[in-house]
Chain A
Amino acid sequence: MPEQVFFEDVEVGQTIPSLRKNCSSQQLVVWAGASGDFYQIHYDQAFARNTGLDGIIVHGALKHAFLGQLLHDWVAPDGRIEQFGCQYRGMDYPDQDITCQGVVTGKHVEGDRHVVDLDVWTENPTGQKTTPGTARVILPSRG
């Protein structure tokens, strides 16, 4: 784990360390079991093609969880995620890089809470933002 990020260290416009993912079909099966999402378009090639897809696709909720990891790894150990959400605009496929990124869009203090807002997203190998979203985290203060 890197060193703790404090509220005072953060500037609007700052990017946070990116997280690179690349799902094997096995990871999608582990995710199916972990999440309880057994929809066959995520592990059965023939089923996926029959629904008009090019092949099996990465679960949207797994990409949401990747953004959760991106944020957790940035705020840990003492910060916490208050909210994070995303839209599934483009499909991602196994064995292709999914790069999770974030940029700080705002920061403010509410009482004793030190709040930081971000835009977060995943990018596919062509640079398309397939999963854009937003997040709010609470960081510790040096004060």
Chain B
Amino acid sequence: MAESAAPSVVTDEMRAQLGVEGPETTLEVTSTGCRLFARAVGHTDPVFYDRDVARSRGYRDILAPPGFLGSPVYRPGMDDRHSEHATAHGVGVGLRVPYKRVLNGGTACQYEEPVCAGDVLTSRSRICDFQEREGSIGPMLIVYRETIYRRPDGAVVARVRGNAIHY
């Protein structure tokens, strides 16, 4: 990939959003949510399914599988075009980008402590960077985001960095 020679599609309006925290999202980490996520991945460790096993291994409750940080509390009319974790995983929402298509470019999770069933988390995302490239699929705009997940007492439990490729 080379730097794009085409005119930049990053507007002043977009640049003004760099670093600005988005609205707060409430996420519930339920036992059912943990089990469904674990099943979808194909996990076989009972720590993701059985509360007694999880407690015997020192967890408060069923352990949330790696990458699962709860389900946003849904309200009719919420934007769920692509993803519950639209902001967390960096898939484009809230930006006026002149490209129709978007792909998830990458995900990185950093845990400060384990997440377990029963946890209620809040998250806030911010855009960290824009990069423009010329790729095999044509000109692309890559939007980098970070989402921070907190417990009700404000303690950070996880950070997720993601990027979305608009093309």
**Which residue of A35, A62, A84 is within 8 Å of B108 (Cβ)?**
A84
**Interchain CB contact under 8 A, B42 and A21:** yes
**Complex contacts, A27 vs chain B, CB 8 Å:** 40, 42
Interface 1/0 per residue, A126-143 and B, CB below 8 Å: 000000010000000000
Contact between B40 and A38, CB atoms less than 8 A apart: no
Stretch in A10-18, A75-83, A104-112 touching the partner: A75-83
* Contact-residue bracket for chain B: 35 or more
Cβ 8 A contact of A88, one of B41, B101, B103: B103
Main secondary structure of the interface of A (DSSP, over half): mixed
Q: Is the CB of A34 within 8 A of B40?
A: yes
Q: Are B161 and A85 in contact (CB under 8 A)?
A: yes
| Docked-complex contact A68 and B103, CB < 8 angstroms | no
Q: Which of A39, A80, A86 meets B91, CB within 8 Å?
A: A39
Chain A residues with CB under 8 Å of B96's CB are: none
Residues of B within 8 A of A72 (CB): 43, 45, 65-66
A126 to B89, CA, bound (A): 27
Interface membership of chain A positions 36-65, coded 1 if the CB is closer than 8 angstroms to chain B and 0 otherwise? 111100000000000110000001111011
Which residues of B are interface residues toward A (Cβ below 8 A)?
Answer: 33, 36-37, 39-45, 47, 57, 65-68, 71-72, 80-85, 89, 91, 101, 103-111, 114, 137, 161
